[in-house]
Amino acid sequence: MRSTPDITRKSLLIGSAWGLLALTAGCTKPTTGSEALPSSTPTASAANVAHWSYEGAEGPGDWGNLSPAFQTCTTGKAQSPIDIPAATPKSPAPITLAYSASECDVHDNGHTVELHAGSAQSLTVSGKNYAFKQMHFHDPSEHTIEGTRYDVEFHFVHQSDDGVLAVVGLLAKAGKSNPVWAPFVDAAAGSTSSRSIGSVNLASLLPASLEHFAYEGSLTTPPCTESVLWLVLDQPIELGADQISKLRAVHSANNRPTQELNNRTVTLVNQ
């Protein structure tokens, strides 16, 4: 176990103030150029007015100045991503998956590539159910663990009936080629338009262990809305160097820098 940092503890409070968000469901595609949750599901129209980027005058350091709808990117105190410290105590809040094989397709929204499932998928954590909305990637990773940054990070975005988001963060490092990820990687690299990748079982994309770090954070793109439940898996997966290169050729450096932890608690959850 990693040592626990000397930080002030507070309870993990997950709110439900989602007036800014308008999520798509199932295989519905976002409008081209729409914002991501936390990097990819469309946000409210007010957030779509201002253009943002990962570099230059419209980059992460200036997001809060681009639109009144983006002010939380600057003023928020529970922002994501973060550098994840080791933390105790361990919390008895496992992730229970209700994933099954589904026809899926991919769509490039201009900032990342999303995967959408054609049939209902969901997960449960702490007795609450969250419906799967989409999965997307960042290169390199947005979250770091004790300062270590990974080659890629995948975000599995879910939403509860009352509008709360729960995002599973999956880190990936260079290693052996990963055949279960090949359909997504190849399709992401092959076209900017929507395209089918056939049947995929989302559970097969995840590692054997779902042990994870849980904390209260935010979207990692404008409008940086807070009260997002983050579930960052402790066990990374491996992707082949060629697979990472394919993703990087489509979108690279699409990661927000880590944000201050402030008084939040990060809890390692045994699975």
* Active-site residue, from 51, 107, 111, 116: 111
CA-wise closest residue to 164 among 81, 112, 225, 232: 225
Matching residue, tokens 């559970």: 203
Task: Write phi, then psi, for 123 (nearest 5 degrees).
Answer: -140, 160
**Is 111 tagged catalytic?**
yes
Q: Report whether 146 contacts 86 (CB < 8 A).
A: yes
Q: H or E segment at 84?
A: strand 83-84
d(C-alpha 258, C-alpha 220), whole Å: 9
Q: How many CA atoms lie within 13 A of 140 on its CB side?
A: 10
CA angle 238, 240, 245 (to 5 degrees): 120
Tokens for 142, please give them: 């947005």
CA angle 32, 38, 41 (to 5 degrees): 35
208 exposure class (CB count in 10 Å sphere: 0-12, 13-18, 19+): exposed
Query: Hey, which residues are catalytic here?
Result: 111
